[in-house]
A and B are shown apart, each in its own frame.
Chain A
């Protein structure tokens, strides 16, 4: 039972590790690493389910009747491309964030943003009171 579903256990464990990293880490690069692990676990899941017992590689050949299902492999090729694109966009954004904020820690960025927000709120209040005086 346990060994028979070996691949699926790997998938679940990897998925949880990836997901946990995305949620728990404040470092933007680490978050992307987590996201990649999370996506990779799904790739393994697709590839595992394509395996047909005693089936060979899906290449047309004399004498073989049973093939593994090639479709999930093809689907996952597409999904890998999508995953790479996501990682690339995410890393590019991280570079720009580093340039703009000087940090890639979530808490730093958040606190810098909050400062702006407070300044705006105070500004708004002071302007409203000023116009009421005038």
Chain B
């Protein structure tokens, strides 16, 4: 049984999704989906434990040997990502039943869980697999269900947002497909491990450069790197709250994982960062993302829009860490990946609670809810502080590592810019706080009550995680550091992940 964990990680939610159709009753489906997600979470815990104890796990599908058959490969980085995704999906599902009652038409509620599980399957598959073409297939599974999930919202603008996401997402995925095709043409293999061994010999051919360009641009579209981010704000703002919370915390993280996997493992560090000026390009785009998106966030009147733009800015931080291309820099990126999932999960769930009680998240509707929904607003404040990077929250830990990495590489100017970027976060978080706490309650809004327990419980799990991992950084830092080190290890020797 333990041997089969890598495949079970993906199969459990995949098999559970159609079974939801049989159950039919919304509440039963919810419990079943929740159970599935918990099961996936336990599997990912076991996998992480196994990887830490005994190193990389490989699993050959159908017993076919690796370069011919599809191989699932779990190393520290994969296990870390699997843990983040399943943990967030479980916590988010806790609140799903209450939230979608108001946001999704009744006859579509059980369909929501099916799509949710399929999307989860896709993300887990992308992370677990060691086969380049498999990545594309799972990418499309998660994206197609994402489009449908966003379109489930009652707001008609969600349809348009979903359509735009579909166009951009499909272009991105097709780019990745072209890149994989070119790689296959040159090497005759799709296995990532095998690719990483064969590509160095062909490094200087134009085909490999083209393949690299297509894959990187495709992945950057998916992760909403600054100039390619246009699909994200509307998709996040108009999707049902639960969907936003889930995607904001996981979808872009999976894309960043792909970026790291392709640059560090498949193409190799020396190719990605020395043959091409990737370092400087990503550094500039990351910084631009931080400033442009943070500034845009300040001017939003829809709070979901505001935090969606903030997500783009936070991706900028991850990209800056990634572009330093040192162990500390990559550790900072991986840490921020984990931490940002906690922050945005908490924030968007809290916004879901506001949506549940008030029916909207326009900034004017936030007037005075600091008193009416104290626990929900407190969660938003702590999440916001974490976004800024105040000590004792997770945001501080990752920003600290990022600064250390920048200073280690003598990039003082960039370090100052990163700090300035955090100041912009102060402004947009303060706008929400000011309206919520220092303005009188809206006329006719006096009856608004605190969010129900089914919301508060998952929100506060994430908020406590925000504080806990801000103080006790052992688990997150150690795993991130080990994963970063192993990624640098392979580029040196080119042998094992």
Contact = CB atoms under 8 A, between A and B. Distances in A.
B147 A89 contact: yes
B288 interface: no
B4 interface: no
Contact of B362 (A38, A78, A82, A124): A124
Contacts of A131: 367, 439-440, 442
B178 A86 contact: no
Contacts of A116: 157
B151 interface: yes
Contact of A109 (B160, B171, B363): B160
A35 B442 CA distance: 47
B185 to A, nearest CB: 5
Contact of A79 (B177, B184, B362): B177
B485 interface: no
B148 interface: yes
Interface string A87-108: 0011001101100110000000
Contacts of B177: 42, 79
A101 B156 contact: yes
Contact of B163 (A39, A45, A82, A94): A94
Contacts of A79: 136, 177
Contacts of B440: 131, 134
Given A39-B174, A127-B442, A131-B439, A90 B364 contact: no
Contacts of A113: 157, 160
Interface string A5-26: 0000000000000010010000
B415 interface: no
Nearest to A11: B178
A72 B160 contact: no
Contacts of A82: 136-137, 140, 144
Contacts of A42: 174, 177-178, 181
Contact of B133 (A31, A75, A86): A75
B166 A90 contact: yes
Contacts of B439: 128, 131
Given A128-B364, A134-B440, A39 B301 contact: no
Contacts of B136: 79, 82
Interface string A42-64: 10011001000000000000000
A106 B51 CA distance: 49
A93 B391 CA distance: 45
Contact of B363 (A28, A45, A72, A124): A124
A72 B188 CA distance: 10
Contact of B151 (A45, A46, A96, A123): A96
Contacts of B148: 89
Contacts of B133: 75, 78
B3 interface: no
A66 interface: no
Given A86-B170, A93-B147, A131-B440, A120 B163 contact: no
Contacts of A123: 362, 364
A127 B301 contact: no
A35 B156 contact: no
Interface string B78-104: 000000000000000000000000000
A47 B147 CA distance: 29
B214 to A, nearest CB: 10
Contacts of A45: 178, 181
A39 B170 contact: yes
A111 B116 CA distance: 32
Interface of B: 133, 136-137, 140, 144, 147-148, 151, 156-157, 159-160, 162-163, 166-167, 170-171, 174, 177-178, 181, 184-185, 301-302, 362-364, 367, 439-440, 442-443
29 contacts: A22-B171, A28-B163, A38-B174, A42-B174, A42-B181, A46-B181, A79-B177, A82-B136, A82-B144, A85-B140, A89-B147, A89-B148, A89-B166, A90-B167, A90-B170, A93-B159, A93-B163, A94-B163, A96-B151, A97-B159, A100-B159, A109-B160, A113-B157, A120-B302, A121-B301, A123-B364, A124-B363, A131-B440, A131-B442
Report, nearest first, the 7 A-B pairs whose CB atoms are least far apart.
A100-B156, A124-B364, A127-B364, A82-B140, A93-B163, A49-B185, A97-B159
Given A89-B144, A124-B364, 19 more contacts: A35-B171, A38-B171, A38-B174, A39-B174, A42-B174, A42-B177, A45-B178, A78-B137, A79-B136, A82-B136, A86-B166, A89-B166, A90-B166, A90-B167, A93-B147, A120-B301, A124-B362, A127-B367, A128-B364
